[in-house]
Chains A and B, each alone.
Chain A
Amino acid sequence: MSLLDKYDKVSLRHQRLLSFGRDPFNICMDRIVSATEAVINGRDVILVGTNNYLGLTFDPDCVAATADAVTREGTGTTGSRIANGTYASHRGLEQAIAGFLGRHAAMVFPTGYQANLGILAGLAGPEDTILLDADSHASIYDGCRLSGAKLVRFRHNSPEDLDKRLSRLSGGTGGTLVVVEGIYSMLGDQAPLGEFADVKRRHGVELLVDEAHSLGVFGDRGRGVVESAGVEEDVDYVVGTFSKSLGAVGGFGASDHPGFERLRYTSRPYMFTASSSPSTIATAMAALEKIQARPELRQQLWQNARTLYDGLKDLGFTICAETSAIIALKMPSEAAAVYMWNALMEAGVYVNLALPPGTPDGSSLLRCSLSAAHTPAQVQRICEIFGSCLEALKAWQATQSAAE
């Protein structure tokens, strides 16, 4: 038996997926045109699934800062943070993030995935307990597993269930960490952080919030749901990414804890990987300045989100959460989701297709994410294309029922 034979079943499922047309998990952009447009398979496509919330990937100031950094500091650091891979710009970005979030210190990682690995596996060890929301991102699950801590999963967005499970913990000697996300990536639903903070205080445990999809999107200053929910004092650790609202690559952890920077010499995912290239650090730095200088980007994003949300709701789609920059449509079946995804691509709209087990409750989702860079005309066009593709889906479903 070959090592890869264990994937026979999942491979068969992938083959079935391909029978509908394109491979939704292997899309190649022939040419990226702007923050909201690309050419895919020779066709002009509006991008509605890139998490490019503030549309900064082509911002002239961010591009100029990036080009300047690569010219001045070279293409790569060729080293880890604990060896030769820390430049003044890495330190400068960490100070800027800490300042932006009003935290004592921040640590930068090469990706958002590694930020969760590094912070979670750094904070918790085999003597500790982590309670994580059931719908947590894979990077949280993987970071928790790498920590070796006792892992207890609580029901999604349920402070009551967390409370119950914390009450059941028998007194070990280690610490206890609760992990939630500000906004959940698949459905776009928001954590009730005020209630979680209350539970956290009552049990005297520590709280980490992942703001991957909320940094730059929520809060008066764009600090995230921790800010908009007014719980900054109760949140011990914030994790975030540069690859969404900041339009770069990388991630960070931030905290007021006086011992936080001990992770610099204890967290293996921080220590044993190459540091971010100087140009990537410069992109994140310029974008961080941009989101502070241009709060109108957030307003434009929300305006676009509300327009698309209302448009899709009027068409009769089942939307999984309240209005946010993530609008996830629950489709009646996997086949309907895959058919519709292909129809949208054919008509010039790219969204994310999300299938079980990567989705909550076994749902098949078409996941849209808006950008401040979408024009009103693009949002209108997206709604029209969804409308025509929905008609095509209904016609296809009718032929399928007739054939059965």
Chain B
Amino acid sequence: MKRIIASAVILLCLFSSALYAANPIHIDIQARSFKKLKVAMPAFWGPADLAGQVWDVCARDLAITGVFSLIEPKGYIHPGPLRRIEAGTLKDWSLIGADYVIAGEISRQGTLAAFTVQVVEIATSKILLSTTYTTSADSAYLTVHTFMDAMMERALGLDGIFSSKIVAIQKVGEKKQLYSSWCDGTGGKAIKGGGDLMLNPAWSPDGRKIAFVSYWKNNPDLYILDLATYKVGMISSEKGINSTPSFDATGTKIVCTLSRDGNPEIYQLGLDGKNSLRLTDSWATDTSPSLAPDGKSMVFCSSRAGAPQIYILDMPSKKVERISFTGTYNTEPVFSPKGDLIAFTHLAEDRRYHVAIIRPDGSKMKVLAGTGRGDESPTFSPDGRLVAFGSSDGNIYITDIFDTMTVQITKGGGFSEPSWSGLIK
């Protein structure tokens, strides 16, 4: 991982006396009364190409946070480019309804790019953040990730998410490969070719390994890619299907689907495929397991009631309880890393597939709007607030559990089955 070389040069006392450093305020974003915080962000100062690129990433990342909304720049009294916010102009920003104003300047220093950014909180007339981030010029988006995490933390006391990645399957021609990018779609690249069918990628919580399915040996088998060495190891190649790997919170074992004993059942395996433990026993199809972060329960999909529905397995007692009762097709459940929610794919009343969320006790099911064109394969952000999914147009999108936005993070189509990593240090 590239990291930001020299970060956080805090610029203090550079501005007129009306602007002070602000203390973070804490707002309950889950409260019913929560409205997105409005952000004005005039064009950044600096070389047009680089400044434009960085501004674009900032705009997309603001939307992805799910808590900020960008005021259209064409409505600004001061459209910019603006490298700093003058105290005398605060009223003008207040006039257009801004809660925060972001001003930025990009400069190139050899192969490096420096992004100096200021955020002013209009309600308090205080500087929320004023920092210079430096990184190599060809990955200037990294400065945005660090800035945006800092802004979420300072403005709302939220954990940052932008140092996490998403892996997906990318179809190029007739071939499939593993494709990974930062969670906002920046820095995307193919990381492992298959030449064959590849399916069901799953990121280990520490972001160092990816488990997936490939047909390299003419059977759907489970493999693991070590991102430090780019070496691929075999997890399981039993007769029948070996599919839907999902790591436990410690990253030392997986749960998955094997049909070696006659029909698809759920098993727990070590990363070398050893110490296999069968977790389900039913005539029906059991698949798509996902463990709760405390490892005490597991959610999975089963057709034991005729149609596929969502079930919870209590690990100590092996007791199984059905939790989805709406609709006739509920599959691919995943536990939130916080353990408070489960996301799954639901055939909704509009006869289209949507991502839905539900509590582990089966209450408060909510169907997310998404693209409305057929969404599947949900995966949670490390803070459990956002959900990425694949849509029928072949692109990956991010929405939030409050259903307030849908942001596209890939271009060109061919993408499916996203899996979100934990925070990558």
Q: Do A and B bind each other?
A: no
Measured CB to CB, the residues of A under 8 A from B are none
Measured CB to CB, the residues of B under 8 A from A are none
